[in-house]
């Protein structure tokens, strides 16, 4: 890259100097960093890679840098260093043509308190120069129905509960079909039913081809909906990738249930296969699986004439994976 390309002057939408990633990415960053005037480094040289069509769970404790990262991606905060791309185009240089293709809910919605939900959406829609004014009412109505606010469309925003306000923010993000949806703590303030509805909506959007970046500190929500994860801790991106692949990389354990007379022999078989930390509790045996395939364990036990009543493989959860990486814990439920 030339010296001129590193200046603050706007870059063209095409960026031929940057090699295309092997997998099409909706969000990409290189060394993205934000240091405040106080000296605090909120985001420390992160390299995000959000595949197109994925539901990417951006997780970490409150204060780990998630929201600051999202604000830099959207051009709301200028990074100290590093670069970011949305939908293949550099940000914030390409904000004009790119942001209409992105739906956003960041740090809670802000609306006019004395206007109704429908009127607030109409004002937002009118600000979008790319939207067809002839179908504005239809878009607003569909968005409100989609988030369960159809019956409250005429109610003043100041009378909305926290959960209703959050739903209206989601409706604003869904006024137009979006290629990318960025949701920062989208279930904040929602009851269990509302949380389930948001999960269902996210899955629907992803099935329709929309890429969804979901920031949250609630691991139970991420585990149920996301195909990919990125784990933040103290401003750093500690791990990212396919959720199932990452959890399979952890230290899986196998539990075997047998009859009382076969417990000793079963323990010997497990140890003979190379399984570590073999523990016995009554008729239940537990061991670290390591690189041994579960079907090999089952075959060895049956081949030794052992009564195999049950066999279960336990993979580490996202919470366990995070604790392993950082030694910290954070909210896993409401």
Using CA atoms, how far apart are residues 245 and 67, in angstroms rounded to an integer?
26
CATH number at residue 188: 3.40.50.300
Domain-embedded: residue 331? no
DSSP helix, strand, coil percent of the chain (3-state; round to 5): 35, 25, 40
> Are 280 and 171 found together in one domain?
no
pLDDT for res 66: 92
> Are 208 and 280 found together in one domain?
no
In the predicted structure, residue 283 carries a pLDDT above the cut 60: yes
> Are 73 and 101 found together in one domain?
yes
Q: Which of 53, 47, 55, 35 is nearest to 73 (CA)?
A: 47
Range of the structural domain that residue 297 is part of: 251-314
pLDDT for res 249: 63
CATH number at residue 279: 3.30.70.980
pLDDT tens digit sequence for 217-275: 777 777 788 999 998 888 999 889 988 777 766 667 889 999 999 999 999 999 999 98
pLDDT tens digit sequence for 131-143: 888 888 898 999 9
Number of domains in the chain: 2
Using CA atoms, how far apart are residues 191 and 334, in angstroms rounded to an integer?
10
238 SS3 class = strand
> Are 34 and 168 found together in one domain?
yes
pLDDT for res 43: 95
> Are 87 and 138 found together in one domain?
yes
Sheet with 276-281: list strands edge to edge: 276-281, 284-288, 253-257, 310-314
CA–centroid distance for 242 within its chain: 11
Strand-pairing partners, residue 216, are 59
In the predicted structure, residue 13 carries a pLDDT above the cut 60: no
> Are 260 and 238 found together in one domain?
no
| Model pTM score | 0.74
User: Quick one: which H or E segment has residue 164?
Assistant: helix 162-173
> Are 86 and 146 found together in one domain?
yes
DSSP string, 62-92: TTSSHHHHHHHHTTSS--SEEEEEETTEEET
Sheet with 180-184: list strands edge to edge: 102-105, 180-184, 211-216, 55-59, 228-233, 236-242
> Are 156 and 224 found together in one domain?
yes
pLDDT for res 328: 58
> Are 293 and 166 found together in one domain?
no
> Are 57 and 117 found together in one domain?
yes
């Amino acid at each position: 890259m030339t010296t001129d390309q590193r200046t603050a002057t706007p870059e063209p939408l095409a960026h031929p100097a940057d090699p295309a990633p092997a997998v099409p990415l909706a969000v990409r960053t290189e060394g993205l960093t934000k240091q405040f005037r106080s000296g605090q480094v909120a985001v420390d040289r992160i390299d995000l890679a959000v595949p197109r069509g994925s539901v990417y769970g951006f997780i970490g404790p409150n204060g780990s840098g998630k929201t600051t990262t999202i604000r830099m991606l959207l051009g709301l905060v200028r990074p100290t260093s590093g670069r970011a791309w949305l939908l293949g185009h550099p940000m914030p240089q390409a904000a004009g043509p790119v942001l209409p293709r992105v739906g956003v809910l960041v740090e809670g919605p802000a609306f006019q308190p004395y206007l109704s939900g429908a009127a607030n959406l109409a004002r937002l829609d009118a600000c979008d120069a790319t939207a067809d004014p002839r179908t504005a009412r239809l878009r607003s109505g569909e968005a409100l129905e989609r988030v369960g606010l159809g019956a409250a469309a005429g109610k003043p925003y100041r009378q909305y509960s926290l959960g209703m306000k959050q739903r209206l923010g989601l409706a604003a993000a869904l006024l137009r079909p979006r290629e990318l949806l960025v949701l920062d703590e989208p279930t904040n303030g929602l009851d269990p039913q509302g949380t389930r509805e948001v999960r269902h909506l996210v899955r629907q959007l992803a099935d329709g081809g929309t890429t969804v970046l979901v920031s949250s500190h609630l691991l139970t929500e991420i585990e149920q909906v996301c195909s990919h994860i990125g784990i933040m801790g103290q401003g750093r991106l500690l791990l990212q990738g396919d959720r199932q692949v990452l959890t399979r990389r952890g230290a899986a354990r196998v539990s075997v249930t047998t009859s009382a007379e076969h417990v000793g022999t079963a323990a010997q078989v497990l140890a003979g296969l190379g399984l570590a930390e073999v523990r016995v509790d009554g008729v239940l045996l537990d061991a670290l699986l390591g690189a041994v395939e579960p079907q090999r364990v089952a075959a060895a036990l049956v081949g030794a004439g052992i009564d195999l009543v049950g066999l279960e493989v336990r993979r580490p959860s996202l919470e366990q994976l995070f604790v392993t990486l950082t030694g910290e814990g954070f909210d896993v439920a409401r």
